[in-house]
């Protein structure tokens, strides 16, 4: 029916299709039971969808408006040949525009509102049916909805999460699975029938919404105790809970179980071994569409000399798009940069810092011996040298400019300033979907980017090769075990000292600018706990920790020494829990 039209309405498609799918699903699943009400059910959705169409019309208008802006920017697919820019911005972004989500919210609230009423037409006939098919019954009352919507003052206040979920791009999959889950669940519970009857007795109250929308398993517990009190509770639950339509059998539950299993398995295996086997397995499977991908890559390779030209003309180049761009850049390096001084930076390298980038420029490119007080000084030195000597040229290739280590504001600022030098040519790749958010206007103008889309579809082998590497102490479990090991070899007093520090740090974990515990305060606390008797003993203990890299000291702006445990909060709390168990 309106399927095609819905499609044309852009993002709305994701909403309507599942409804019908669900309807079909229900018809199939609970077909025999619902037979009586079926006609009515199927007839009504049509009306409802018609109404939705009316709404979708003006939404389509909005989409059109959005698109016209995008089109003005030249999105028009005809000219952009292979590149994926033919997708209008509207299609990708619509779920987030506030206007639309309001509409969605209206719909959502309608959906949330109606089910209770839907039971009104003939409650005596098929109470359990309405209960069992909440989604469909909702729709069976479009006429009432229309009257009701006018009263819906709280439309915009519908839970944000609900709105978001309804508007979510993959609502189709999600809702389908959820609905089926709730259906199956309800078949189990016989209490459902009772509930509905209780609900019907309170039809005039707002609580009716909840009757159908909340999972019965949860309700049975509360319901039986106290009917009257529930009304209020139910009301709030119905209007606040995001899980209006779902059962509590969530993916998380499932995943946790699986994950635990998986973790146990992992414990048995050596991590490295596992990685190796995974790698081998992946290696064996042939790359799909190898020919096409190769062709794609060749297309990009033909751009190399153009890139060189544009680099020389003062632009810097940034590559984006799906797939690893490591090989492409490597090819660029080997084919174009053999005769020039160039610097390759692996942004994905876990311990890369801007300092190391600057160091390799000063030490290896400029042959400068000596140290600098700060990266800014170093940068200044580099800029001066490059400005003085116009024959100096440097090509900088950065794989993953948006990596964890380089995405910080200061690092980006330094790199941007570096790239703004006329004789430094920067070509970089980014992969994170929000990578452009790293740059504000000032940085962007320093970088002077030219964007090139290079979707390669090649696997991120090189980039992910450091993941879970033993050299990188990323995994919390590793740090935790080392913590306990070291601590076990220490005296109880020393352990107490460490505990104090850990607890203090956890108390302050919400404070983003927490500098650490100052030495004086720490000493005071330790004294009060009878852990140390003098300044010196505490210092001696701290040296022990410092040697094992359990704590880090830092001087604050006022010259006070601050102590920090360089472990993430979750590991730290795990550690404390374990310690508590031991004691």
Partner 1 sequence: MSTRSLSKGCFVFKPSPKKRKVSRTTAYYFREGSSDLEDSELRFATCQSLQKQVKSETEQIEEELNEQLFDNLVSFLRRSHSAFQEKKTEWTCRTKSREIPTAALVLGVNVTDHDFTFRSLSEVLQNNVTPYIALLEAKDCPGIKNLMQKLLGQLMNCCIDVDSSEEEDYEHVSRSRVRCSMTTLINWYESATKRTDSETPGKKRTSSRHWQSPPVVVIFKDMESFTTKVLQDFVVISSQHIGEFPLVLIFGIATSPMIIHSLLPHSVSSLLCIELFQSLSCKDHLSTIIDKILLTTQFPLKLSEKVLQVLINIFLYHDFSVQNFIKGFQLCIVEHFHSNPLSVLCCQLEEAKRRVNSLSHNQCENVRRLPSFRRYVESQVSEKQIALLTVDSSLKEAVQKLLEDLNVYHENYFPILRCLHVFTSSLPKYPLGKQIRELHCACLENRVWETEEYESSLQLARMLNKSDLVTMLQKCVEILVSSPGREFDEIVEKLKEFLTQFQKLEEAYQERDESISPQKELQKKTNLYHLQKTLLELKESRRSKKLTKFEMLRFEVVDYIDSLVRHYLVPADHKTLHEIVYFNTASVLREHLNAAPRIALHTALNNPYSYLKSEVL
Number of residues that bind partner 1 (CB under 8 A): 81
Which residue in 40, 53, 89, 473 binds partner 1 (CB under 8 A)?
89
| Interface with partner 1, residue 173, by CB under 8 A | no
Backbone φ/ψ region at 274: left (φ over 0), alpha (ψ -120 to 50), beta: alpha
Which residue in 18, 323, 375, 516 binds partner 1 (CB under 8 A)?
323
Residue 346: helix, strand or coil by DSSP?
strand
* For partner 1, the closer CB: 438 or 487: 438
Which residue in 45, 115, 159, 321 binds partner 1 (CB under 8 A)?
321
Provide the angle, in degrees to the nearest 10, between the axes of the packed helices 160-167 and 171-188. Answer: 110
Please choose, out of 21-29, 38-46, 215-223, 303-311, the segment that lies near partner 1 by the rule CB under 8 A: 303-311
Q: What are phi and psi of 517, to 5 degrees?
A: -95, 130
Strands 552-555 and 561-564, how do they pair?
antiparallel
Residue window 472-511: x/- pattern of binding to partner 1, with contact defined by CB under 8 A = ----------------------------------------
What CA–CA distance (Å, rounded) separates 300 from 480?
A: 46
In 10 A of CB 354, how many CB atoms? 21
Please choose, out of 193-201, 453-461, 509-517, 574-582, the segment that lies near partner 1 by the rule CB under 8 A: 453-461
| Interface with partner 1, residue 289, by CB under 8 A | yes
Q: Where are the alpha helices (DSSP H) in 214-302?
A: 216-225, 227-240, 251-268, 271-284, 290-301
Among 447, 327, 343, CA closest to 398:
343
Q: What are 583's two structure tokens?
A: 């004691």
Please choose, out of 216-224, 246-254, 319-327, 524-532, the segment that lies near partner 1 by the rule CB under 8 A: 319-327
Unique residue bearing structure tokens 């940085």: 443
Please check whether residue 353 is in contact with residue 405, taking contact to mean a CB–CB distance below 8 angstroms.
yes
Which residue in 301, 330, 521, 544 binds partner 1 (CB under 8 A)?
330
Chain centroid, CA 560 distance in Å:
38
Burial tier of 54 (Cβ tally within 10 Å: 0-12, 13-18, 19+): exposed
Among 461, 435, 466, CA closest to 324:
461
Burial tier of 393 (Cβ tally within 10 Å: 0-12, 13-18, 19+): middle
Please choose, out of 2-10, 139-147, 213-221, 296-304, the segment that lies near partner 1 by the rule CB under 8 A: 296-304
* For partner 1, the closer CB: 444 or 570: 444
Strands 316-320 and 449-453, how do they pair?
parallel
What CA–CA distance (Å, rounded) separates 136 from 20?
A: 9
Kind and range of the H or E run holding 580: helix 569-582
| Interface with partner 1, residue 53, by CB under 8 A | no
Q: What are 283's two structure tokens?
A: 């290696």
* For partner 1, the closer CB: 317 or 487: 317
Which residue in 40, 47, 53, 85 binds partner 1 (CB under 8 A)?
85
Q: How far is the CB of 506 from partner 1 (least distance, A)?
A: 28
Widest CA span of the chain, in angstroms? 92
- Contacts to partner 1 from residues 393-452, by CB under 8 A: 393, 413, 430, 433, 435-436, 441-442, 444-445, 448, 450-452
| Interface with partner 1, residue 270, by CB under 8 A | no
Kind and range of the H or E run holding 518: strand 517-518
| Interface with partner 1, residue 278, by CB under 8 A | no
**The dihedral of CA 435, 438, 439, 443: what is its sign?**
negative
Q: Where are the alpha helices (DSSP H) in 432-554?
A: 441-447, 461-464, 476-488, 492-507, 519-528, 535-547
| Interface with partner 1, residue 461, by CB under 8 A | no
- Contacts to partner 1 from residues 21-40, by CB under 8 A: none
Q: How far is the CB of 364 from partner 1 (least distance, A)?
A: 4
* For partner 1, the closer CB: 86 or 201: 86
Which residue in 8, 83, 177, 371 binds partner 1 (CB under 8 A)?
83
* For partner 1, the closer CB: 238 or 401: 401
Side by side, the strands of the sheet bearing 552-555 are 517-518, 561-564, 552-555
* For partner 1, the closer CB: 304 or 514: 304
Which residue in 42, 293, 478, 560 binds partner 1 (CB under 8 A)?
293
In 10 A of CB 499, how many CB atoms? 18
- Contacts to partner 1 from residues 91-110, by CB under 8 A: 91-93
Which residue in 190, 292, 389, 568 binds partner 1 (CB under 8 A)?
292
In 10 A of CB 487, how many CB atoms? 19
* For partner 1, the closer CB: 3 or 472: 472
Q: How far is the CB of 239 from partner 1 (least distance, A)?
A: 34
Residue window 349-388: x/- pattern of binding to partner 1, with contact defined by CB under 8 A = x-xx---xx-xxx--xx----------x------------
Q: What are 210's two structure tokens?
A: 């909840």
Please choose, out of 114-122, 194-202, 341-349, 572-580, the segment that lies near partner 1 by the rule CB under 8 A: 341-349
Please choose, out of 97-105, 159-167, 347-355, 517-525, the segment that lies near partner 1 by the rule CB under 8 A: 347-355
* For partner 1, the closer CB: 216 or 321: 321
Please check whether residue 357 is in contact with residue 415, taking contact to mean a CB–CB distance below 8 angstroms.
yes
* For partner 1, the closer CB: 78 or 264: 78
Kind and range of the H or E run holding 384: helix 375-388
* For partner 1, the closer CB: 144 or 455: 455
Which residue in 74, 286, 370, 559 binds partner 1 (CB under 8 A)?
74
| Interface with partner 1, residue 389, by CB under 8 A | no
- Contacts to partner 1 from residues 548-577, by CB under 8 A: 557
Please choose, out of 5-13, 240-248, 252-260, 344-352, the segment that lies near partner 1 by the rule CB under 8 A: 344-352
* For partner 1, the closer CB: 57 or 364: 364
| Interface with partner 1, residue 335, by CB under 8 A | no
The residues, ordered by sequence, that sit 6+ positions from 39 with a Cβ below 8 Å of its Cβ are: none
| Interface with partner 1, residue 286, by CB under 8 A | no
Please check whether residue 461 is in contact with residue 399, taking contact to mean a CB–CB distance below 8 angstroms.
no
């Amino acid at each position: 029916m309106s399927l095609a039209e819905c499609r044309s309405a852009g993002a709305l498609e994701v909403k309507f299709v599942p409804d019908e799918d669900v309807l079909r699903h229900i018809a199939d699943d609970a077909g025999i039971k619902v037979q009586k009400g079926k006609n009515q059910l199927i007839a009504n959705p049509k009306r409802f969808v018609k109404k939705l169409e009316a709404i979708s019309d003006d939404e389509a208008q909005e989409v059109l408006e959005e698109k016209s802006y995008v089109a003005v920017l030249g999105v028009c697919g005809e000219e952009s040949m292979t590149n994926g820019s033919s997708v209008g911005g509207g299609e990708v972004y619509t779920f987030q525009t506030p206007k639309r989500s309001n509409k969605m919210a209206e719909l959502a609230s309608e959906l949330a509102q109606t089910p209770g009423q839907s039971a009104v037409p003939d409650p005596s006939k098929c109470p359990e049916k309405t209960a069992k098919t909440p989604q469909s019954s909702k729709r069976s009352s479009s006429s009432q909805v229309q009257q009701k919507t006018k009263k819906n003052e709280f439309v915009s206040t519908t839970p944000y999460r609900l709105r978001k979920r309804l508007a979510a791009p993959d609502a189709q999959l999600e809702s389908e699975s959820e609905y089926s889950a709730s259906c199956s669940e309800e078949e189990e519970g016989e209490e459902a029938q009772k509930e509905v009857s209780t609900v019907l007795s309170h039809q005039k109250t707002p609580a009716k919404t909840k009757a159908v929308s909340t999972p019965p398993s949860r309700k049975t517990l509360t319901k039986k105790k106290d009917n009257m009190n529930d009304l209020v509770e139910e009301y709030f639950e119905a209007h606040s809970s995001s899980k209006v339509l779902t059962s509590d059998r969530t993916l998380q539950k499932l995943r946790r179980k699986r994950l635990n299993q998986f973790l146990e398995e992992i414990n048995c295996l050596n991590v490295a071994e596992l990685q190796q086997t995974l790698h081998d397995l992946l290696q064996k499977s042939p790359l799909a569409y190898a020919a096409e991908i190769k062709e794609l890559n060749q297309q990009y390779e033909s751009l190399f000399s153009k890139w060189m030209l544009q680099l020389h003309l003062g632009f810097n180049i940034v590559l984006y798009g799906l797939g690893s761009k490591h090989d492409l850049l490597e090819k660029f390096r080997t084919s174009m940069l053999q005769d020039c001084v160039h610097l390759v930076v692996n942004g994905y390298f876990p311990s890369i810092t801007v300092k190391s980038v600057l160091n390799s420029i000063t030490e290896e490119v400029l042959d400068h011996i000596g140290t600098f007080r700060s990266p800014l000084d170093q940068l200044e030195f580099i800029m001066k040298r490059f400005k003085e000597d116009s024959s100096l040229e440097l090509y900088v290739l950065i794989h993953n400019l948006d990596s964890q280590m380089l995405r910080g504001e200061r690092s980006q600022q330094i790199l941007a300033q570096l790239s703004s030098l006329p004789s430094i040519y920067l070509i970089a790749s980014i992969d994170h979907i929000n990578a452009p958010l790293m740059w504000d206007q000032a940085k962007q103008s320093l970088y002077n980017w030219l964007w090139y889309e290079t979707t390669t579809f090649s696997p991120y082998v090189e980039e992910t090769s450091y993941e879970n590497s033993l050299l990188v102490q990323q995994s919390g479990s590793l740090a935790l075990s080392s913590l306990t090991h070291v601590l076990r070899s220490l005296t109880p007093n020393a352990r107490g000292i460490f505990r104090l520090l850990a607890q203090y740090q956890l108390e302050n974990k919400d404070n983003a600018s927490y500098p650490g515990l100052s030495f004086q305060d720490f000493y005071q606390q330790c004294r009060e706990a009878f852990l140390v008797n003098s300044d010196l003993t505490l210092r001696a203990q701290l040296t022990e920790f410092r040697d094992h890299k359990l704590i880090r000291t830092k001087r604050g702006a006022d010259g006070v020494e601050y102590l920090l445990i360089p472990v993430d909060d979750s590991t730290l709390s795990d550690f404390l829990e374990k310690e508590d168990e031991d004691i």
